[in-house]
Amino acid sequence: MLSLFRTLSPGRKRLFWVSVIVLGGVVAWALIQASQNDRAGQQAVVDARVEPTETANAKPALTVTAILPQVAEWPRVLETSGTVVAWQEAVISTEASNLILTEVRVNVGDRVKQGQVLARIANDTVQAEWSEAQASVAEAEAMLSEARANGDRARQYQQTGFLSAQMINQYLTAEKTAIARLSAARARMQSAQLRLAQTVVRAPDDGVISARTATPGSLAQPGLELFRLIRGGRLEWRAEVSADDLGKLQPGRLAVLTTPEGARVQGRVRMVAPTVDPQTLNGLVYVDLPASETGNRLRAGMFARGEFELGRARAVSLPQSAVVLRDGFSYVFRIGDVARNGQAQVSQVKVAIGQRRGDQIEIRGGLEPGSRVVASGAGFLADGDSVRVLEAPVAPSQ
């Protein structure tokens, strides 16, 4: 075959190669078409087999519980925040000067009674002054007794002429002088007695010691702070309220504080400030707090949130589980009419929410009265999903 091919002329060789190439192309085209037809047949068989399977494995509709919004009387509250401070804080000091503090009997947090001894100051020098003043009073009383006797005799002999007018005048003047000296001596004794009393520091009122700077061995000075006392143990909450809401509050209105630990404490409005801060446009509301909470759950300087009860009004509410937060907005899923197959379509509805009370959230707008919504599991739904509906039991009105 090869020897025969070699005997061919160049023209015939070219014709031979062209024929081979054309024949090869035809064979390749035929093979490709046969392969494509075979694949199309196989895909048709697969589609015929898969379609029923996919239909059988379609995602089932989620079963949800339908609930109706509740309508009940809710308290209307004004939420705010503020600082807990002492109702009145007394600064306790002494007027004793340059005397050593010898004893301190109380510490921060101690409850004290009016007149209770808090500290003592060295009184040796003052005690000596008081004893000297007592002696001076006794001397002045003795001198007055003698001068008074002479004065009585002078008045007795004034009409008889037994004593000269000059002598009588001397006796009467000496009596008056003795009276003045006794008064001065008694004043000095009272002053010494007062200084002696100042060496004992006493509580001016019932209350709680909130600060202490007194230290045994230190030098007492007039006006130097030794203790601070929360009078009566009373605290108050100074709530910051906007100027628009100040008119809603009056003395005697109930307030409820929430401490950082979550405890709730009740108080009463004592006074509403007559002025408003021009920078913040807020005014202060003074709320009396129970003295029993001082040092227990409430402490001066504590920041606390609270609310004022403004009355009651009808409110529409849903459980928290029915409200979904998405993209910073609140939504509920309203359930449409149930079809013959027992399924219903849900629609996502944007709502405006108000205050919270327990596990209920107030719905202030966006939902028509009587609309059925998904009670729980709404976070797994999307707008337009089909669901199977179960009716929730009717809850009693609050």
- Provide DSSP, 147-194: HHHHHHHHHHHTTTTSS-HHHHHHHHHHHHHHHHHHHHHHHHHHHHHH
- Cα→Cα distances 315→70, 306, 398, Å: 8, 21, 11
Q: In what order do the strands lie in the sheet with 227-231?
A: 89-92, 227-231, 207-212, 111-112
Q: And the tokens for 351?
A: 């709502």
Task: Identify the CATH class of 79-86+233-310.
Answer: mainly beta
Residue 228: what pLDDT? Answer: 93
Residue 384: what pLDDT? Answer: 86
- Cα→Cα distances 359→70, 166, 271, Å: 12, 104, 34
Length of the chain: 398
Read off the pTM: 0.56
Task: Identify the CATH class of 62-75+314-391.
Answer: mainly beta
Q: And the tokens for 258?
A: 């929430």
Residue 37: what pLDDT? Answer: 58
User: Same fold for the domain at 62-75+314-391 and the one at 79-86+233-310?
Assistant: no
Q: Domain spans of the chain?
A: 62-75+314-391, 79-86+233-310, 92-118+203-232, 123-198
Q: Which residues of 274-313 are buried (b: 16+ CB within 10 A; e: fewer)?
A: eeeeeeeebbbbbbbbbbebbbebbebebebebbbeeeee
Contact (CB, 8 A) for 362 and 317? yes
Residue 201: what pLDDT? Answer: 92
Task: Identify the CATH class of 92-118+203-232.
Answer: mainly beta
Residue 229: what pLDDT? Answer: 93
Residue 72: what pLDDT? Answer: 84
Q: Which residues contact 351 (CB under 8 A, 6 or more apart)?
A: 323, 330, 331, 332, 363, 364, 365, 366, 367
pLDDT under 70: residue ranges of the chain: 1-20, 22-61, 159, 161, 293-296, 391-398
Q: And the tokens for 246?
A: 């100040």
The C-alpha atoms of residue 335 and residue 68 are separated, in whole angstroms, by 10
The CATH architecture that domain 123-198 belongs to is: Orthogonal Bundle (1.10)
